[in-house]
Structure 1
Amino acid sequence: MTMASSTVPERAGVATDTVAARRALRNQRIAEALSAWSLAGPALVLLVVLFFLPVFAVFAIALTDWHFGGSTLSFVGFDNFREVFADEGFRASFVNTTVYVAIVVPGTIVLGLAIALLIESGKGFRAFYRAVHFLPFMATLTAMAISWEALLHPTIGLVNQALVTLGLPTANWLRDENTVLPVLAVIGIWQNLGFAMVLFLAGLKSIPQDLYDAADIDGADLWLDRLRTVTLPMLGPVTMFVFIVVSLKAFETFDTVQVLTQGGPGHASEMLLFTLYRESFQYLRTGYGASVAVVFLLIVVALTLIQARAMDKRIHY
């Protein structure tokens, strides 16, 4: 009887301790959730206000015939999108942007990696060479575009003067349909080269020397073999990051087109972002410009996802 009576309080005490433990665990989880939301909340609010709401607003405007400054608008559904895909100017700007990206991205990656390898293999003046190659990325592109305009001037530009000195034919680089897009691509490579170089330098410094020693033991003693078997595989994550970032920057090219060519001659150098600007702020066709922006956003997002998925399968982390 004494044992039975003493067991009941013990069970009651265990039940009370279990309830208290559960309550304490629940309170701890609530405190952790509140702490997490207090840290992530401001960033989430900024993401919603600065990204999702503007995207929703642009898509809503794309379904109307609103003109910038107008007091009225009408719902037109997907008429603007049908006009976009039927517009020869949009198709020309899409093709130009695709060609521009196809030149700038591989050119930036190959030259950036080559310069990074040269600097890393050198013995002195590394900081100087890094600074010199990184300056174009830090400079104001509009000011640099004006400098390029002076260099490429058909009569007094240094480029044509150098070609005349060498006995080579000259060209009106920014007014010729055959040369304007490659010239803009060269300027794009020049601008992004320092960014790619710095990232590749950081990636090269993170490669363990033991891997190169093991490659030497296995017979990969030539620099090309070491590059193929060690350097390039270990730079896979950096290469993917550079590829995606440079692709996005190439798609967003606007400054050089606005300053140097205005999309001309004809539509030979018109890019998607310049088409968006022209329709929205020069022709004041805000609804149509918003539809161009939506199509542009969908193209960039789709290509970025495809690039990331395709490259991620070949990368060793």
Structure 2
Amino acid sequence: MSPAKAHKLAEVITGYALAGPAFLLLVLLFFLPVIAVFVIALTDWEFGARSLNFVWFDNFQEVFADAGFRRSLLNTIVYVLIVVPGTVVLGLLIALLIESGRSLRAFYRAIHFLPFMATLAAMAIAWEALLHPTIGLLNQTLSALGLPTANWLRDENTVLPVLAIIGIWQNLGFAMVLFLAGLKAIPQDLYDAADIDGADLWLDRLRTVTLPMLGPVTMFVVIVVALRALESFDTVQILTRGGPGNASEVLLYTLYRESFEYLKTGYGASITVIFLIAVVGLTLIQARIMERRVHYQ
């Protein structure tokens, strides 16, 4: 073997040796579990049982015929439709306000980013105390102002919007930090050119320069926040357990209840497959639609 071929072979072997452990972990921790979930979804296996039978697509037919699953799917869609626009709009607004200021920028960034870093389980307990129907700060304040109060977490009409507000509060700091990074990356020359072209008002500068240049950041924020909203579980488990009357039940909570409370593992796996397909499909659709509208430098 010539020295050139030996050197090339050594490079190939080195590449496989370096990438091999990561690829092995990817197979063990991702691909094999996904395949296992797809296989279990085709069976009637119950957690702890020593035998199983292949029922093929009966679990999926049962899932779509279940009114409880359809309710949780609708709740999840409504939750995402509230959390994503609310987080993006408020995150951009706060980023613009912080960037336009000249003092205490680090303080405001830290204050708004803390909810994203905090443990949601602990924060959910704080929200539960805040929203308590009798001694909660919110109802106490409303009563002092002469306004009507509500049992926010036990009313079917308010529980899902309240959970969505908590989701916005948690993701707001994440969106704000990304928008701040995007604002700092916009060249000042573009604003100077906009001034020369007659865009003197802040609204004109926002419409013609800021928003188009934030297109890639906005696309990333929308996709990530949508995925985080779809994965909502902690607040539902701690605050409402899907109640009242399944009014706050979302897909992940339904999956958890069927798989680990009712021990219907095959049925829960079929919900997992549906959830996985929905998440991947939604992500691809969002990326395809928004990619046509963003501006890349």
Structure 2 length as normaliser, TM-score?
0.97
Cα 1:44–1:162 change in 2 (3 A) is same
TM-score for both structures, normalised by structure 1: 0.91
Give RMSD over aligned pairs.
Answer: 1.1
The alpha-carbon deviation at position 45 of structure 1 amounts to 1.6
* Aligned match of 1:138: 117
- The amino acid of 2:282's aligned partner reads L
Once residues 205 and 15 of structure 2 are traced to their aligned partners in structure 1, the CA distance between those partners, rounded to angstroms, is 46
Code of the aligned partner of 2:90: L
CA separation in 1, counterparts of 2:292 and 2:21? 34
Distance 1:64-1:39 versus aligned 2 partners, 3 A rule: same
Aligned to 1:3: none
Shift of 1:42: 2.3
Confirm or deny that 1:220 pairs with 2:203: no
**One-letter code aligned to 1:210:** D
Q: Gaps spanning 5+ residues in structure 2: where?
A: none
List aligned pairs for 1:237-276, cutoff 5 A.
237-276=216-255
Q: Paired residue for 2:50? A: 71
Out of 38, 41, 50, which is 2:29 matched to? 50
Partner of 2:53: helix, strand, or coil?
Answer: coil
Residue equivalent to 1:96: 75
TM-aligned CA deviation for residue 60 of structure 1: 0.7
| 1:2-24 deviations in Å (ceiling 9; x for gaps) | xxxxxxxxxxxxxxxxxx8xx45
Partners of 1:155 and 1:91 lie apart in 2 by: 33
- Cα distance in 1 for residues equivalent to 2:286 and 2:123: 30
- Work out the number of aligned pairs and report it: 296
Amino acid at match of 2:73: F
Alignment deviations for residues 220-259 of structure 1 (CA, whole Å, 9 cap, x no partner): 1111111111111111111111111100000000000000
Pick one of 285, 288, 305 that aligns with 2:284.
Answer: 305
2:58 is aligned with what amino acid? D
1:218 maps to amino acid? D
Query: In structure 1, what is the equivalent of residue 103 of structure 2?
Result: 124
- 1:28 to partner: Cα distance: 4.1
- Asked if 1:80 corresponds to 2:55, the answer is no
Instruction: Give the distance between the partners of 1:306 and 1:262, measured in 2 at CA.
Output: 31
- Give 1:236's aligned residue: 215
1:25 Cα offset (Å):
4.5
Q: 1:293 aligns with which of 272, 275, 282?
A: 272
Q: Which residue of 1 aligns with 2:133?
A: 154
In the aligned structure 2, how far is the partner of 1:27 from the partner of 1:220?
63
